[in-house]
Chains A and B, each alone.
Chain A
Amino acid sequence: MINIRQLNKFYGGRQILRDINLNIDAEEVFSFIGPSGAGKTTLLRLIDLLERPTSGTILYKGVNTAASENIRIETRRKMAMVFQRPAMFGASVFDNVAYGLKVRGEKNPRLADRVGKAIQDVGLAGYEEQDARTLSGGEIQRVALARALVISPEVLLLDEPTANLDPVSTVTIEKLIMKIIGEMNITVIMSTHDMAQGQRLAGKIAVMMEGRILQTGDPGLVFNKPENHLVARFVGVENIFEGNISSNSDGLVNVAFGPHVLEGISDLSAGEKVNIFLRPEEITLTPSRTATSARNSFRGEIMRISLNGPLARVELDCGFPMIALITRRSAEELNLQKGQNVYASFKATQVHIIKR
Chain B
Amino acid sequence: MEEIGAAFVTALKLIITGDPEVLSITLRSIIISGSATILSALIFIPAGSAVFFSEFPGKKGLVNLINTLFSVPTVFVGLVVFIAISRSGPLGGLGLLFTPGAMVTAQALLISPVITGLSISALSGVRPEIKDTALSLGASRVQIAITMLREVRYAMAVVVLAGFGRAISEVGAGIMVGGNIRGYTRTLTTAMSLETSMGNIEFSMALGIILITIALFVSIIVYRLQRL
Neighbour of A87 across the interface among B133, B138, B139, CB < 8 A: B133
Contact A89 B140 (CB under 8 A): no
Cα–Cα distance between A89 and B147 once the two chains are bound (Å): 8
Chain A residues with CB under 8 A of B132:
45, 50, 83, 87
Is A100's beta carbon under 8 Å from chain B?
yes
- Segment 82-128 of B: residues with Cβ below 8 Å from A: 127
Cα–Cα distance between A91 and B130 once the two chains are bound (Å): 12
Is B193's beta carbon under 8 Å from chain A?
no
Is A193's beta carbon under 8 Å from chain B?
no
Q: Which of A12-20, A74-82, A171-179, A344-352 contacts B (4 or more CB under 8 A)?
A: A74-82
Is B129's beta carbon under 8 Å from chain A?
yes
- Segment 136-154 of B: residues with Cβ below 8 Å from A: 136-140, 143, 147, 150-151, 153
Contact A80 B129 (CB under 8 A): no
Is A103's beta carbon under 8 Å from chain B?
yes
Chain A residues with CB under 8 A of B139:
99, 103
Binary interface encoding of chain B residues 157-176 relative to chain A, with 1 for a CB under 8 A from any of its CBs, else 0: 00000000000000000000
Shortest Cβ gap from A128 to chain B (Å): 18
> Interface range on chain A: under 10, 10 to 19, 20 to 34, or 35 or more?
20 to 34
Contact B133 A83 (CB under 8 A): yes
Q: Which residue of A lies closest to B135 (CB)?
A: A50
Shortest Cβ gap from B189 to chain A (Å): 37
Cα–Cα distance between A268 and B45 once the two chains are bound (Å): 73
Is A73's beta carbon under 8 Å from chain B?
yes
Shortest Cβ gap from B65 to chain A (Å): 29
Is A90's beta carbon under 8 Å from chain B?
yes
Is B134's beta carbon under 8 Å from chain A?
yes
Neighbour of A147 across the interface among B130, B137, B147, CB < 8 A: B137
Chain A residues with CB under 8 A of B140:
73, 103
Q: DSSP class of B's interface residues: helix, strand, loop or mixed? A: helix
Contact A87 B127 (CB under 8 A): yes
- Once A87-B129, A89-B130 are accepted as A-B contacts, the answer to whether A81 and B143 lie under 8 Å apart by CB is no
Is A35's beta carbon under 8 Å from chain B?
no
- Once A89-B147, A90-B151 are accepted as A-B contacts, the answer to whether A76 and B129 lie under 8 Å apart by CB is no
Is A86's beta carbon under 8 Å from chain B?
yes
Is A274's beta carbon under 8 Å from chain B?
no
Chain B residues with CB under 8 A of A77:
138
Contact B129 A103 (CB under 8 A): no
Is A48's beta carbon under 8 Å from chain B?
yes
Is A85's beta carbon under 8 Å from chain B?
yes
Chain B residues with CB under 8 A of A76:
135-136, 138
Chain A residues with CB under 8 A of B135:
50, 76
Is A200's beta carbon under 8 Å from chain B?
no
15 A-B pairs whose Cβ atoms sit less than 8 Å apart in the complex: A50-B132, A73-B140, A77-B138, A81-B136, A83-B129, A86-B129, A87-B130, A89-B150, A89-B151, A99-B147, A100-B137, A103-B134, A103-B137, A103-B143, A104-B138
Taking A87-B127, A99-B134 as known contacts, 11 extra A-B pairs with beta carbons closer than 8 A to each other, sorted by chain A number, are A48-B136, A77-B138, A80-B137, A87-B133, A90-B153, A103-B138, A103-B139, A103-B140, A147-B137, A151-B137, A151-B138
Residues of A participating in the B interface, judged by any CB pair closer than 8 Å: 45, 48, 50, 73, 76-77, 79-81, 83, 85-87, 89-91, 99-100, 103-104, 147-148, 151
Task: Sort A-B residue pairs by CB-CB distance and give the 8 closest, nearest first.
Answer: A87-B129, A100-B137, A77-B138, A81-B136, A103-B139, A103-B143, A87-B133, A103-B138
